[in-house]
Amino acid sequence: MYVLFEGIDTCGKSTQIAMLNKVFDHVILTKEPGGTKFGVQAREILLQDSLSSKRAELLLFLADRAEHYTQVIKSNQDTLIISDRGFLSGIGYALANGDFEFNHLVELNKFALESHFPELIILFISNMETLKQRMGEKKLDGIELRGLEYLLSVQNHMEESLKKLDIPYLLIDATDSIENIHNIITKRIHKLF
């Protein structure tokens, strides 16, 4: 079972994933990009924000997604797989970068994922105040340096895209307490079994 955790940086995904790792036995934790050997290299390139072509950036994400699906998701479908980011982020960032069309992005991601979308997407929704506070506490990477408005635009595109897709999802208020969020997510994942 493939569960995708989505949201912009500092929204709390990593904290919740670490907590779930203690609740569920035999869970596979992974991430995009970075969940494979190729993904580690792709992540370094992407976080440097060194590509001048947004199409090249998109294609690198898609190449990582296809490799990640083959190595991690496809061979472990009988196990709970929790991924920190995936195709929804890819669509959100591509739309925020402009010059891309939603349906075309969905088709490209279907191709990369061999038409196997997650059984559940958990999307964390943050706000400007929380984002400012949490971003001030960390060193920013190349993508985060594009600005808070850019990140909130990515979040809006992810939420709008999610509502157009035929995939079960759960929206999480990232400003809620860590414990409340944990309880909501744990209950929802238990329902899938």
Annotated binding-site residue? 70: no
Annotated binding-site residue? 173: no
Annotated binding-site residue? 90: no
Annotated binding-site residue? 138: no
Beta bridge partners of 122: 5, 170
First to last CA, the chain: 9
Determine the residue type at 38: F
Torsion, CA 167, CA 44, CA 61, CA 134, rounded to 10: 40
Distance separating alpha carbons of residues 173 and 184, to the nearest angstrom: 11
Pair of tokens at residue 170: 């759960």
Annotated binding-site residue? 7: yes
Q: Could you give phi then psi for residue 173, rounded to 5 degrees?
A: -75, 105
Annotated binding-site residue? 9: yes
Binding residues, by number, are: 7-14
Binding residues for ATP, by number, are: 7-14
